Structure 1
Amino acid sequence: MRWKNRPDGANWGDFGPDDQLGRPNLISADQVLKGAAEIRAGLSFCLSLPLDYPGESKLNVRRRPPVLRPTMKDDLAYVNFPFARIDEQATDVISDDQVLLSLQYSTQWDSLAHVGALFDADGDGVAESVYYNGYKANVDIVGPVEYRADDAFNAHACASEHSHADALGIENLAVKGMQGRGVLLDLVSHYGREYRTVGYDDLMSVIEADGVQIDRGDMLLLRTGFAEMVLEMNRSPDVAVLDTHCSALDGRDERLLQWITDSGIAALAADNYAVERYPVRPVSGNHPLLPLHHHCLFKLGLPLGELWYLQELAEWLRANKRSHFMLTAPPLRLPGAMGSPVTPIATV
C-alpha cells in the first residue's frame, strides 16, 4: 500500500490498491449497453470545438493554439510532394504534417495526474505532493523540476527536460474507452447566459424541472453556453465578457461535492473552462484553489472534461424530450500525458 492515510471523503483503494482509473471503473458492460439502448434516431453529434479554439492564449497563458507544420526529409517539406522526385515514373503526390499542441488547449479530458494535493498520505506528519490513490510527485509523476513544499519552497532541477506520468496517465482512459451512457443537464435552458455560480440547490432545481434521471456509471455533461460564446468570438476571446457570463459549478459548496460523490457518476464534463467557477470564493485556512478539481480528480479519481461543445445536442434532446444518449469519448492513447484533446461523439 502506497498510503497510510487517505483524504476525508476519498475512495482511494476502493477499486484496488494499484487502481489508476478511478470512477470510470463504474462504466460496466451493463452501462455500455444502457448507452447503446439510447440510440434510436441514428444521429451523431460532434461535441468538440475546433481544436484551434478558443484562440490566442488569453484563457491560459501557458497553453497555446496548435501549430501545423509539414513533415520534413532532406530539407524538403512533404506537402504536395511529388514522388517523381524519388522515382521519375511515380505518379503519387503526398501531403504529411505534424502538430505542436498543448494537450489541454481546447476540448479535453483531464487525466488523474492533472491535479494532486499536499497531503500526508504516508502518515509521517509531513504533507507531501500526491495524487489519486497515493501516487507520488517526483516518483510516479515526474518533470524537469522537483518542487519541494518545505519552508523555503525549494525547486531542484532534475536530469530530464521532459514530463511523464508513469502512473495515472491519460492512456488509462483511452484503454477504458470512455464509452457508455451520457446524460445532459442544460443550464442554458434555465439560466441563459447569466453569470451564475451553480451550487447544489440550483443543480437539483434543474434536475427536478427537467425530470432528469442520473444513474451510477453515467457520464454527466453540463451545458453553460460558454463554448458557444467562444465560438462566436472567432478565435479572439474577450476574457472580460467571458468572465462575466454563464454558469459554472460552485466548488466550495460541500453539498454539491457530496452529491457528486453519492451520485456515482463516472465522469463530469462541461462546455466551460475548468467546469468550476474560478477564481473561487476565498476561505480561511489551508484550502485548494480548485476545490472541484481537488474533490473529483484527487479524491475520487473522477475525470473532468472541459470546453466541450454541447449546443446542437442540447437543442435536439430538448426538442425530443430526452436527456440520455450514447457517449463515446476516448482521449488520445498517449502514454504519460496528463491531459488530452478529445472529439466526443453523442449518438441518439
Structure 2
Amino acid sequence: MDANNLPQWKDMPAVEGMPHGCAWGLFDKDGKKDELGTLNLLTPEVVMRAREEIKTGKSVALNWGLDRLSDVQMGRSVLKHSHVDWRDKGYDFWCYDDEISINTQTGEASCCGGSQWDGLRHWGHSKTGYYYNGIKHDDLLKSGRLGVENWTKRGGIVGRGVLLDYVAYAKRKGIEYSPMSSHPIPVVQLEEMARESNVEFRPGDIPIIRTGWTKWYDEAGFADRKKYVIDGYDWVGIEGCEEMMEWLWNHHFAAIATDANGVERVPFNPEWTLHDYALAFWGMPLGEMWDLEALAAECETQQRWTFFLTSSPLNLPGGAASPPNAIAIF
C-alpha cells in the first residue's frame, strides 16, 4: 500500500467503540480483512529503494542469544536445549540433532530467551480485549487469523532500518539514566537523534532504538539481574503519550524495534500504551531485546545510521511471536 493513501493521525476515521487512532479497515482490500497491518507499507518500491543502502557488503546480525535470559519470571518457561546422539539410538553413523523448547514471547519481562518480534496474536487492546482488525480475545485462537506465518507468506520483513542510538545521544547531551529505570525517551529526542545522524524518515522505515538494556544485562551479575529484572518492573523505553502515537503513525513506519524489553517505557502509560496502538490498532510488529551493540559500532565506523534490514520470522501457523532472525546489511 502506498502511504500516501493513508490519513494523517488527526484525520483517521472513527472506529466504533475504539479510541481515536485505530486503523482497523484501512488496510483491508477487495472485501478481505487485513492481517498484515503496517507491513503492507513494505511495497516492492520501498524494498527496491532500501537496497540502495547496501554499499560495502558488511552485515551485522541483530539477534541476542536465545540463552541470554534464563531467569524465570511471570511463570514463563525458559529455554531448554539438548542434543540427541544417534549412536545412542543404535545407529552406526556420527550425528547429533538439536531438541529445543522455547517460549517465543522472549521479551517484555518474560526473561526466558533472546530477541523477538511481538506478533499480532500477542496483544489485545487493554480495555476491550480486541485484537487487530476487531477479533475478540476468546475468538482469536479459533479464527485461524493473525498468526506470524502471514509474515512469512508475504516474504518476511524487508526494508530500510534506521538506528536511533539513544545511548550515544545521551552521552553527548550529558543525560544520565539507567536502562533499569522508567526513563522516557520523548519524540523531541528521537527527532533530534535523526537530525544529528542526517536521517530523513521515509514511509516503510523500521526505526531501531538502542537504549543499553541488553548491554546492561550482559554486564550485570545475578544479584542485580534479580533486583532489576526478575523482581523489578521499571525499564527504559519510548514515552507513551499521544504525541508519540501521532509521530509513529504519521511517519508510517512499517515496524519498530529496540534492545529494551518493552519498546515503550515500563510501567506502561495505561491511557497511551504503545502495545495497544501498535499491535492491536495498527498491526505494527514490535521488536524487543535485539542485540544492537555491534550495529551501533558499525554505524559509528561508517558514519551512517541507515541500512538494508532483513528479518525472517518463524513460519509458525498461529504463532503469537517469533525470533526476528534479523540482519543489517551496509
Query: TM-score interval w.r.t. the shorter chain?
Result: 0.7 to 0.9
State the partner residue of 2:326.
344
Aligned residues between the structures: 295
Structure 1 contact 170–332 (Cα < 8 Å) conserved: yes
Note closer, same or farther for the CA distance 1:311–1:244 as it changes in structure 2 (3 Å cut).
farther
State the partner residue of 1:266.
254
Give the deviation of 1:215 after TM superposition: 0.7
Structure 1 contact 82–94 (Cα < 8 Å) conserved: no
Give the deviation of 1:306 after TM superposition: 0.1
Structure 1 contact 23–267 (Cα < 8 Å) conserved: yes
Give the deviation of 1:236 after TM superposition: 7.4
TM-score by length of 2: 0.82
State the partner residue of 2:62.
47
Correspondence list, 1:1-348, <5 A: 6-16=18-28, 17-57=32-72, 60-70=73-83, 78-81=84-87, 85-86=90-91, 90=92, 92-105=93-106, 106-117=114-125, 128-141=128-141, 166-176=144-154, 177-192=156-171, 194-195=177-178, 196-233=183-220, 238-241=225-228, 247-251=236-240, 253-280=241-268, 287=270, 291-348=273-330
Structure 1 contact 220–268 (Cα < 8 Å) conserved: yes
Q: Residue type of the partner of 2:123?
A: V
Note closer, same or farther for the CA distance 1:55–1:233 as it changes in structure 2 (3 Å cut).
farther
Structure 1 contact 53–65 (Cα < 8 Å) conserved: no
- For structure 1, the residue ranges without an aligned partner over 5 or more in a row are 71-77, 120-127, 143-164, 282-286
Q: Whose helix fraction is larger, Structure 1's or Structure 2's?
A: 2
Question: Could you say what secondary structure the match of 1:317 adopts?
Answer: helix
Note closer, same or farther for the CA distance 1:245–1:299 as it changes in structure 2 (3 Å cut).
closer
Q: Residue type of the partner of 2:188?
A: D
Note closer, same or farther for the CA distance 1:236–1:212 as it changes in structure 2 (3 Å cut).
farther
Question: Could you say what secondary structure the match of 1:96 adopts?
Answer: strand
Give the deviation of 1:201 after TM superposition: 1.9
Q: Residue type of the partner of 2:23?
A: N
Give the deviation of 1:173 after TM superposition: 1.7
State the partner residue of 1:155.
none
Q: Whose strand fraction is larger, Structure 1's or Structure 2's?
A: 1
Percentage identity across paired residues of the two chains: 31
Structure 1 contact 52–235 (Cα < 8 Å) conserved: no
Note closer, same or farther for the CA distance 1:4–1:241 as it changes in structure 2 (3 Å cut).
closer
Structure 1 contact 187–222 (Cα < 8 Å) conserved: yes
- For structure 2, the residue ranges without an aligned partner over 5 or more in a row are 1-14, 107-113
Q: Write the distance in 2 (CA, Å) between the matches of 1:65 and 1:118.
A: 26
